[in-house]
Amino acid sequence: MGVFSRTCEYAMRAVFFIAHRTPEGTRVGIKDISEGIDSPAHFLAKILQDLSRRGIIHSAKGPNGGFYMTEEDLSRPLSDVVEAIDGVQIFKGCALGLKQCSEKNPCPLHHEFKAIRNDLTKLLNGTSIKSFNEDLLNGMTSLKK
């Protein structure tokens, strides 16, 4: 596995996909999303239910229903998605999994690893979903599987 769990990868891709596909109040269904990001539909449904419950995305049932994101949703940092799915360990945890690891009692990787973790935090915490989406809309980046 990479840095994030597969579930988290799906979640991020789905969020970008939804942002990209629902510019003005429109909605996009689970089938479209799961096909668009190449993920198992039912599994993704669970993930999006979770994100929806947490208010990270929104949904509506019934005809013309589906998932969408409000302006507020779009202005959140991507770290909210990661934290919702994978938790905070990735931003705070010791590389070696040591509970006692700290500035005062650093593990052999502590200082250098902290710098890397901080960069990751800065990237995910400091950039809104909207701004990632702008790169998508401008064709500068892609979600092609």
Does 84 interact with a second copy (rule: CB under 8 A)? Answer: no
Query: Alpha-carbon Rg of the chain, whole angstroms?
Result: 17
Does 3 interact with a second copy (rule: CB under 8 A)? Answer: yes
Does 132 interact with DNA (rule: CB under 7 A)? Answer: no
Residue 59 CB neighbours (<10 A): 17
Q: What residues have CB less than 8 Å from 71, skipping those under 6 apart?
A: none
26 binds, among a second copy, DNA, none (CB under 5 to 8 A by kind): none
Q: Which of 4, 45, 49, 130 binds a second copy (CB under 8 A)?
A: 4
Q: With CA atoms as reference, report the closest residue to 29 among 70, 66, 69, 68.
A: 66
Q: What residues have CB less than 8 Å from 102, skipping those under 6 apart?
A: none
Q: Which of 59, 108, 125, 130 binds a second copy (CB under 8 A)?
A: 108
| Residue count (the chain) | 145
Nearer to DNA, 64 or 138 (CB): 64
Does 113 interact with a second copy (rule: CB under 8 A)? Answer: yes
* Cα–Cα dist 57/115, whole Å: 31
Does 84 interact with DNA (rule: CB under 7 A)? Answer: no
Residues that bind a second copy (CB under 8 A): 1-6, 9-10, 12-13, 16, 78, 86, 89-90, 93-100, 105-110, 112-113, 115-117, 119-120, 123, 127, 132-133, 135-136, 140-145
